[in-house]
Amino acid sequence: MHNTLSQPVVVGAAIFDHASQPTKMLAARRKAPKSLAGYWEFPGGKVEPGESHTGGLLREIREELGVDVEILDLIEAPDDTGWPLDNGMHLHVFTAVVTAGEPLPLVEHDRLEWTELNAHDLHALDWIPADRPIVDAILAQLSDHKSTV
């Protein structure tokens, strides 16, 4: 998965409280830019040149939240380019769990919230519009996983 597009690739983490039996997911509220301030999102950011998707995500989560994570699974997007964002970039979201540290809103965010992994509680948050279908995909992927266990 190397970035052949001119647009940078963006990665995000759906951080769960537990790897095999998750009940909560960490949501992060943006404080900037003004157009996105107050909206909730998956923490993460742009992959640097020469970085893998997962390497970029590990670095971004360390910078933004001050924690180390273990990456679990990719949330499947409608196609291989990832989830389309309003700015023309594409987002690849991975599930993850914290392996060291306590998440803090260090850089991009003014608030973090451990939210129950259900449609009612997750959709009660005002997500960045491009992230809403990803929330649904995470819930669907979890329910598919539960039905096969």
Q: Express each pLDDT in 12-49 by its tens digit.
A: 999 999 999 999 999 999 999 999 999 999 999 999 99
Model confidence over 62-96: pLDDT tens digits? Answer: 999 999 999 999 999 998 899 998 888 999 999 99
- Note whether 106 and 65 are within 8 A (CB): yes
Does residue 129 carry a pLDDT above 90?
yes
Domains and CATH numbers, the chain: 9-148 (3.90.79.10)
Q: Which two tokens stand for residue 41?
A: 């999102």
Percent pLDDT > 90 in the chain is 79
pLDDT for residue 148:
62
